[in-house]
């Protein structure tokens, strides 16, 4: 019966007819009850992605994802409404780990549910789970009590939040429907609505290492997400960034947490990371209806006066991080005795490009990302770049360090060298 509803909807799409709310809702119910094959689900998703769907159909799909699971109630709270942020994913993207403590330090509460990631880029939940003791699986009352204590909480999405989306996410890969704006928008916004978020900044990145490859597609996706969010009463703002290089010096879970803390302490000012953090913070201040005057100066002050890093540490402790880590993250990292392999420049020159996709693949091979849902992530695995675009390098200089819990091959060293491209003389 469920199969029939799904197949009828597929036929309608093949006939260029619009799907009704009932067609979509019945189909999504079929996706999660286990009676509809992956092949049929993939055909439905492929047909949906290939059409020029109208806004009402995207809204129906979003409604169906939300209705497929539980909706979190935001408890009675006094004071400002919490803000949330979502990124479409990048390489070395630690903007949530940096922008959110800054905003929280400025007095704005932050509540975010984050997904882990399959594929090359780790999700924020994976990065946080690499911190010893840190708990990302939090129930509703724990989320609220941590928010009350540290003004910042990030938990992982639970399986009962939009299971219809999870069922489709799994097979989108199989039918080339990962990059469909309609499917991405329904997937992202449904989870924000189900999580009870009402003020959200979406950070959409484009490039060959991104979810969308060019600026026009990124803007099209942003406009759809914005319109859909408005339809659910979410106040939203979209920030766009190109992925020309990794967002920071580090790519890898613990390495990125450590870089985020260094940034918040005023010790690391990678230009791409700084630019993205400031852009996202400005947007968060806007959705929080904060006075926008002098936003950049206020952000800089929160970093320079120590409030941002203190907020970060307080938040880690509130979510269970081991004291040993919070006291000295870099000493903790060394105490794990990871394997390391320096990458040396073979010639002198100026760094012209750092290939984000190449770097992401190397970090994943070192163990920083999952290929399958049950794979384990190696918390120490990743790459620490010692250069950025424009750095002048002499032959023999260390331009990157590879880290892993496993022995590191010479081949990976060579691939890393090749991902850091020098300007032609
Ligand atoms: N993030 C999501 O949650 N869903 C998508 O489809 C893409 C990115």
CA of 197 to the centre of ligand 1 (A): 16
pLDDT for the residue 268 = 74
79 lies in some domain: no
186 lines ligand 1 (CB under 6 A): no
pLDDT at 119: 55
Give pLDDT, residue 11.
97
Express as a percent the part of the chain with pLDDT over 90. Answer: 82
pLDDT of residue 74: 65
Rounded CA separation 423/173 (Å): 36
Q: Considering the chain, what is the average pLDDT of its residues?
A: 93
DSSP state of 367: I
For residue 53, how far is its CA from the centre of ligand 1 (angstroms)?
Answer: 18
Residues 235 and 370 in one domain: no
Q: What is the predicted pLDDT for the residue at 104?
A: 98
Confidence (pLDDT) at 16: 94
What are the tens digits of pLDDT across the range 54-95? 999 999 999 999 999 998 876 666 778 999 999 988 899 999
Mean pLDDT of 395-418: 97
Q: What is the mean pLDDT of residues 202-226?
A: 95
Atom of ligand 1 nearest to the CA of 169: 6
Q: Residue 188 Cα, ligand 1 centroid: separation in angstroms?
A: 5
Coil vs helix vs strand at 94: coil
pLDDT interval class at 1 (50, 70, 90): low
Claim to verify: residue 315 and residue 351 sit in the same structural domain? no
In-domain check, residue 108: yes
Q: In terms of residue numbers, what domain contains 256?
A: 84-327
Cβ-Cβ contacts under 8 Å for 57 (sequence gap 6 or more): 18, 19, 24, 48, 182
3-state helix, strand and coil shares in percent for the chain, rounded to the nearest 5: 50, 15, 35
* Range with lowest mean pLDDT among 55-69, 107-121, 175-189: 107-121
- Residue 66 in any domain: the answer is no
Task: Give, using CA atoms, the residue closest to atom 6 of ligand 1.
Answer: 184
Backbone φ and ψ of 351, nearest 5°: -70, 120
The confidence score (pLDDT) of residue 78 equals 75
Residue 254 φ then ψ, to 5°: -65, -35
Q: How far is CA 30 from CA 3, 9, 53, in A?
A: 7, 12, 21
In the structure, what pLDDT confidence band is assigned to residue 118 with cuts at 50, 70 and 90? very low
Best substitution site from 62, 115, 123, 194 to test ligand 1's pocket, by max atoms within 8 Å of Cβ? 115
Q: Count of residues for the chain?
A: 425
Using an 8 Å Cβ cutoff, are 264 and 254 in contact? no
Question: What is the tens place of the pLDDT at every residue in 363-399?
Answer: 999 999 876 666 788 999 999 999 999 999 999 999 9
Q: What is the pLDDT of residue 173?
A: 79
Residue of 176, 211, 224 to test ligand 1 pocket, by largest number of atoms within 8 Å of CB: 211
Among protein residues, the one with the nearest Cα to ligand 1's atom 5 is 184
From 327, 361, 381, the end of a domain falls on 327
Supply the pLDDT for residue 251: 97
Which of 7, 66, 49, 59 has the alpha carbon at shortest distance from 173?
49
Question: What is the number of domains present in the chain?
Answer: 3
User: Residue 197 pLDDT more than 70?
Assistant: yes
Pair (288, 183) in one structural domain: yes
Is 42 in the same domain as 122?
no
- pLDDT value of position 120: 60
Do 211 and 150 share a structural domain?
yes
| Average pLDDT value for residue range 18-37 | 94
Structural domain includes residue 93: yes
Least confident residue range of 155-164, 192-201, 321-330, 356-365: 155-164
Q: Verify whether ligand 1 is closer than 6 Å to residue 108 (CB atom).
A: no
What is d(CA 92, CA 248) in angstroms, rounded to the nearest whole number? 6
pLDDT (0 to 100) of residue 76: 62
**In this structure, how many other beta carbons lie within 10 angstroms of the beta carbon of residue 316?**
24
**Ligand 1 contact, 88 CB (< 6 A):** yes
Residues 262 and 136 in one domain: yes
Same domain, 311 and 390: no
Q: Are residues 319 and 345 in the same domain?
A: no
161 pocket-lining for ligand 1 (C-beta < 6 Å) = no
CATH for 262: 3.40.1030.10
Residues 285 and 354 occupy one common structural domain: no
Residue 248 has pLDDT above 90, yes or no: yes
Do 110 and 157 share a domain, yes or no? yes
Residue 85 DSSP SS3: strand
Q: Is residue 390 situated within a structural domain?
A: yes
């Amino acid at each position: 019966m469920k199969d029939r509803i799904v197949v009828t909807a597929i036929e309608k799409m093949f006939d260029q007819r619009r799907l009704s709310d009932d067609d979509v809702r019945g189909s999504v119910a079929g996706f999660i009850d286990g009676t509809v094959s992956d092949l049929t689900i993939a055909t439905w998703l492929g047909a949906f992605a290939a059409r020029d769907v109208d806004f009402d159909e995207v809204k129906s799909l979003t409604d169906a994802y939300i209705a497929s699971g539980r909706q979190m109630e935001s408890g009675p709270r006094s004071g400002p409404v919490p803000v949330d942020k979502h990124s479409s994913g990048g390489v070395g993207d630690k903007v949530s780990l940096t922008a959110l403590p800054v905003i929280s330090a400025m007095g704005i509460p932050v509540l975010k549910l984050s997904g882990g990631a399959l594929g090359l880029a780790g999700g924020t939940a994976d990065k946080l789970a690499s911190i010893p003791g840190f708990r990302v699986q939090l129930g509703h009352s724990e989320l609220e009590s941590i928010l009350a204590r540290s003004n910042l909480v990030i938990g992982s999405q639970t399986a009962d939040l939009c299971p219809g989306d999870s069922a489709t996410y799994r097979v989108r890969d199989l039918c080339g429907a990962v990059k469909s704006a309609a499917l991405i928008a329904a997937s992202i916004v449904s989870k924000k609505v189900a999580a009870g978020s009402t003020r959200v900044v979406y950070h959409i990145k484009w490039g060959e290492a991104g979810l969308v490859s060019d600026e026009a597609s990124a803007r099209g996706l942003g406009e759809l997400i914005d319109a859909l969010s408005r339809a659910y009463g979410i106040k939203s703002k979209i920030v766009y960034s190109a992925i020309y290089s990794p967002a920071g010096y580090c790519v890898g879970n613990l390495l990125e947490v450590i870089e985020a803390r260094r940034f918040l302490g005023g010790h690391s000012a990678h230009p791409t990371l700084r630019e993205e953090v400031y852009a996202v913070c400005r947007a968060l201040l806007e959705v929080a209806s904060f006075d926008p005057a002098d936003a950049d100066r206020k952000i800089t002050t929160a970093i320079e006066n120590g409030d941002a890093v203190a907020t970060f540490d307080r938040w880690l402790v509130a979510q269970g991080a081991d004291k040993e880590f919070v006291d000295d993250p870099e000493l903790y990292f060394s105490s794990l005795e990871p394997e390391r392999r320096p990458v040396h420049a073979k010639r002198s020159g100026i760094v012209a490009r750092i290939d984000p996709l190449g770097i992401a693949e190397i970090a994943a091979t070192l163990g920083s990302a999952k290929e399958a849902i049950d794979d384990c992530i190696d918390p120490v695995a990743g790459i620490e770049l010692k250069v950025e675009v424009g750095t002048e390098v002499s032959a023999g200089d260390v331009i990157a360090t590879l880290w892993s819990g496993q022995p590191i091959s010479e081949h990976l060293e060579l691939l890393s060298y090749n991902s850091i491209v020098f300007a032609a003389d």
